[in-house]
Amino acid sequence: MSAAGIGIRLESVSRHYAGEGGVVRAVDGVSLEVEPGASLAIMGPSGCGKSTLLALIAGLETPTAGRVAVGEHEVSALDDAARTRLRRELLGLVFQADNLLPFLSAAQNVSLQVALAGADCYHRCNEILARLGLDDQGEKLPDQLSGGQRQRVAVARALVGRPRAVLADEPTGSLDSESSAAVIDLLLAAQRDLGVTMVVVTHDHQVAARLERTVLLRDGRLVDERRDRRSERAFADA
């Protein structure tokens, strides 16, 4: 099967905010490329800009400077409606907070976006929930699920539409080791079977070790482990 993944490219991207003490450089001059079908882990201490960087790729934030491209689309130049359409058609997103709709069942949360596009994903929805150990939880509302179960539902939601790239922000942060392994197994299966491109923000070195490349973000700047030996201690502390 030819790769279905889509390339991601950032060119000198910055995202600055006005803070009480002056300018906050959440992301500061980051250049990064992820090849179609590849997997990347982004690590770093809390508050270093990892989530902001992921939001810039997804078009949930707009850069103060620089360019963000997903495939042939220059995300940083699109209007709000076009960025929303790009996320719906090309991206699967997993957030730190699960963002499940409280009035929909687990299965309905997973299938909603695909159903809005007019596709029937009933079988695939049930298959993904089963692979995540949730085959008997599909009819429950989010407040009837544990935090770990809710996060696994969020992962299933990101994959059900067969996206071309998955952007995951701490997808295993609230999970025990067994559930964490199941989630990463599913993400890696999607990469293998569909050629999906994956970018995962994580504090978990075991998760990062299963991806093809790991980079470190510190103070809004990106350090590539393979190019800077000084980053080895920083990775150990991330």
- Split at pLDDT 50, 70, 90, the class of 160 is confident
When the pLDDT of each residue in the chain is averaged and rounded to a whole number, the result is 86
Contact 175, 103 (CB under 8 A): no
Task: Please say whether the structural domain 8-237 has been given the CATH code 3.40.50.300.
Answer: yes
Torsions phi, psi for 232 (to 5 deg): -60, -45
Query: Which of 58, 118, 60, 61 has the alpha carbon at shortest distance from 90?
Result: 58
pTM summary value: 0.86
What are the residue boundaries of the structural domains of the chain, listed by start?
8-237
Most distant CA pair in the chain, distance: 53
pLDDT digits (tens, 9 = 90+) for 63-94: 999 999 999 999 989 999 999 999 988 999 99
- Split at pLDDT 50, 70, 90, the class of 112 is confident
d(CA 76, CA 27): 14
Q: Percent of the chain, pLDDT > 70?
A: 89
Q: How many other C-beta atoms can be found within 10 angstroms of the C-beta atom of residue 186?
A: 19
d(CA 135, CA 205): 29
- Using DSSP's 3-state secondary structure scheme, residue 53 falls into helix
Contact 198, 211 (CB under 8 A): yes
